[in-house]
Chain A
């Protein structure tokens, strides 16, 4: 599946190089939220993050003739966002505070971490964006926490059938691949081993 995405992305990349505005629109819609998200991890300011993200597209568009691959364009955009975000916070004493609960011993704020973070959520967000928020929550609870329909319906105050429907919708949206039972077992074992 990644291969298919790559082919499509690279086709658009070639159009991007030629200065085709449809390609600009494609990349903008595909990457803008993630780039803003990435900037937000550094600047901690939504307006600034969005401004930096859109600015990055302007700069990349100026160089359109030099960029001819999906990963090339993406990397270039992230680089610009990174640079501009660092510059934005340089003058200030802002530090990228952790905005999530984390054990403070290990810092997961390296550029690599931030990049992975933005990309993971970009991929998930893209896959889920057509779902209503309720279904989305159901999906997350089910797959991440292994919660049963019953548990979810109790937690969300929904009728189990609603939960089921929403789960189904979510499954369709995610184009689920057949998972072997072994994998599921392995997943549980990993979770037990990791202690959560």
Chain B
């Protein structure tokens, strides 16, 4: 007999029933008879049950009761009711399972392949503007001071350039301009303008330590001394910023169409040429908030904002290298496609 998980009571009940029925039908073997006798004599309860079950009147009554059970009709009625219609589990449909499993595996492989071989954000994403602007550049720029004087930085000697307001501006090297924070400077409304021609580029360190790489045909307007509550500059064209951290003084870059980029210590690039329909703010490190009259977008590293028709859309771009080393490569990419 097969093993069953059911308890011993059932099994012994079946055995006793078999023995008693066999007794009544007189079909027991000698051993079976002994077995029955042992059970009957084991206790009064067993004896009572045996007597009850072998009582003729009981036997007749119970058999008559069972006679009245309309098994076939009941079965037919159940079938017609659809009572036995259940989803049958078929364990032997291995073929179907295998087929389904292999399809799923193949699909999975397909998608993995697709995902790993596509380039999220190709090189074109980084270089966006008309390549004619990116001629091999030289360090050429002009600086317009508050008093209106224009200084051609290309040919200026390295050294201090004095401004009427008393700010010290230092041309430290070819292509580099450094502003020193001067506590004496009072007139914060005055603006300096750094301007690069087509094919030119220049780097300036602002009085707060922020470094700006100005790309070709671009203009950066900034105060030689920042106001206390914010550091505000204006940009047309393209520039790469490395903003010095100062939570108390948010750094704000305004673009011609009054799109603002607010930062708190980050590395990012702004592309906002006036003749282009679209401006872009590309964030490499830190965080910026790009906003205009109608929209706001907060960027995380590796995302950029596209500003077009006053709409700001965020997209991801692919940062090729970790920033410390990669910045110069990145800038190189920007300026020399």
Contacts and interface: CB of A to CB of B under 8 A. Distances in A.
- Sort chain A's interface into a size bin: 35 or more
Given A112-B9, A116-B13, A61 B59 contact: no
B26 A69 contact: no
Interface string B80-100: 000110101111100000000
Given A33-B66, A186-B33, A54 B78 contact: yes
A28 B53 CA distance: 24
A103 B49 CA distance: 11
B32 to A, nearest CB: 9
A57 B83 CA distance: 9
Contact of A128 (B14, B63, B83, B89): B63
A102 B44 CA distance: 13
A78 B65 contact: no
B75 A71 contact: no
Contacts of B75: 25, 28-29, 32
A24 B84 contact: yes
A194 B24 contact: no
A86 B312 CA distance: 71
A21 B61 CA distance: 32
Nearest to B84: A61
Contact of A100 (B11, B20, B57, B90): B57
Nearest to B17: A119
Contact of B13 (A57, A79, A106, A119): A119
A192 interface: no
Contacts of A64: 88-89
Interface residues of B, number: 62
A108 B49 contact: yes
A93 B5 CA distance: 34
A134 interface: no
Contacts, number: 185
A143 B17 contact: no
Contacts of A19: 88-90
Contacts of A124: 21, 24-25, 59, 63
B10 A71 contact: yes
Query: Per DSSP, are chain A's interface residues mostly helix, strand or loop, or mixed?
Result: helix
A112 B13 CA distance: 6
B25 A174 contact: yes
Contact of B2 (A46, A68, A186, A196): A68
Which of B54, B59, B83 gathers most chain A CB within 10 Å? B59
Interface in A58-84: 58, 61-62, 64-65, 68-72, 74-76, 78-79
A75 B45 contact: no
A176 B25 CA distance: 8
B65 to A, nearest CB: 6
A123 interface: yes
Contact of B74 (A50, A65, A140): A50
B74 A127 contact: no
Contacts of B53: 116-117, 120
A75 B24 contact: no
A103 B44 CA distance: 12
B230 interface: no
A13 B57 CA distance: 35
B74 to A, nearest CB: 6
Which of A50, A119, A174 gathers most chain B CB within 10 Å? A119
Contacts of A18: 90, 92
B30 interface: yes
B94 to A, nearest CB: 14
Nearest to B4: A72
Interface of B: 1-6, 9-14, 16-18, 20-21, 24-30, 33, 37, 44-45, 47-49, 51-63, 65-69, 71-72, 74-75, 78, 83-84, 86, 88-92
